[in-house]
């Protein structure tokens, strides 16, 4: 049996699927990840500082102009469209088979595909707040702001994207909901993540079900624990899974 046929079979037999994903789920939508050969971490020579430094709270506070230059040019992809992975997960939620998508991504592509139960561990580029009065600003307002650093129209304070920077804590409620969803799941599909960014990556250890599927192009620390390992591009694999599932329903 081909891996995608096995995955389709397991999806068909599950009622409580949870997907845990990372940047690799969006590379086929044109958004680079951090650690692949084409990832942002490999482009360091063109950057003034390493990405982990520029994406830290300290750096944001001390050099907001450099932060926003990097953030706007490398982290924002407003025209990106969902791929086969995002689309299949949204469809499984509508069928009542998938309980939650837990993502380390900040790009909003799961929601764009139609998913509604998305736990965003690292926040979202689509939410931005004034650091003083907490007024909301859209992604477009941050992108089109004339100054190097976007500022609140009302009090002039910096507008901070609602993304979790290095040195910042994850939202406790999102973490709690993620643990609960994973520990209740009967099928855990992990996709497009190097499983190296903590504490997000350790969430997968709360899984108590029988079947773990790991879909990642490069090896991860969790490979030995997976019941099914798939290294082909996740968007293409999920498209094939969707075809198998719909043929089965016909």
Q: For residue 170, give the nearest of 148, 196, 143, 197 by alpha carbon.
A: 197
Residue 158 marked as a ligand binder:
no
The distance in angstroms from the start CA to the end CA of the chain is 21
* Selected range binding ligand NAD among 56-64, 149-157, 166-174, 191-199, rule: CB under 6 A: 191-199
List for the chain the helix, strand, coil content (%; round to 5): 40, 20, 40
Q: How far apart are CA 68 and CA 155, in angstroms?
A: 19
Query: Which residues, numbered 192-231, are part of the site for ligand NAD (CB under 6 A)?
Result: 192-194, 196-197, 215-218
Q: How far apart are CA 175 and CA 106, in angstroms?
A: 15
Per CB under 6 A, the list member of 3, 9, 35, 114 interacting with ligand NAD is 35
Binding mask 118-137 for ligand NAD (x = CB under 6 A): ----x---------------
Q: Which of 110, 122, 126, 154 is catalytic?
A: 122
> For this structure, is 122 an active site residue?
yes
If one asks whether residue 178 binds ligand NAD (CB under 6 A), the answer comes out as no
CB atoms within 10 A of CB 76: 17
Considering the complex, state which of residue 199 and residue 248 has its C-beta at the smaller distance from ligand NAD.
199
- 89: tokens are 């997960």
If one asks whether residue 6 binds ligand NAD (CB under 6 A), the answer comes out as no
Q: Do residues 84 and 107 lie in contact, with contact meaning Cβ atoms separated by under 8 Å?
A: no
Instruction: Provide the annotated active-site residues.
Output: 122
Give the interface with ligand NAD as residue ranges (CB under 6 A): 22-24, 26-28, 31, 33-36, 39, 104-107, 122, 192-194, 196-197, 215-218, 233-235
């Amino acid at each position: 049996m081909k891996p995608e046929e096995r995955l389709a079979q397991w999806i068909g037999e599950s009622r409580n699927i949870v997907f845990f994903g990372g940047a690799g789920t969006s590379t086929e939508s044109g958004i680079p990840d951090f650690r692949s050969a084409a990832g942002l971490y490999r482009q360091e020579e063109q950057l003034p500082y390493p990405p982990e430094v520029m994406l830290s709270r300290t750096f944001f506070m001390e050099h907001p102009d450099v932060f926003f230059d990097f953030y706007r040019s490398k982290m924002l992809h407003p025209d990106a469209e969902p791929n086969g992975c995002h689309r299949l997960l949204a469809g499984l939620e509508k069928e009542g088979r998938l309980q939650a998508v837990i993502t380390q991504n900040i790009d909003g592509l799961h929601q764009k595909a139609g998913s509604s139960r998305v736990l965003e561990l690292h926040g979202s580029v689509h939410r931005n707040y004034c650091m003083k009065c907490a007024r909301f600003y859209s992604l477009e307002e941050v992108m089109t702001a004339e100054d190097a650093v976007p500022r609140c129209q009302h009090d002039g304070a910096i507008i901070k994207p609602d993304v979790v920077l290095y040195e910042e804590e994850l939202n406790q409620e999102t973490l709690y909901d993620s643990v609960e969803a994973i520990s209740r799941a009967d099928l855990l599909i992990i996709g497009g993540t190097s499983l190296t960014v903590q504490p997000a990556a350790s969430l997968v250890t709360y899984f108590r079900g029988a079947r773990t599927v790991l879909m990642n192009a490069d090896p991860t620390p969790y490979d030995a624990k997976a019941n099914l390992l798939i290294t082909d591009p996740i968007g293409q694999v999920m498209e094939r899974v969707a075809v198998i599932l719909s043929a089965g329903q016909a």
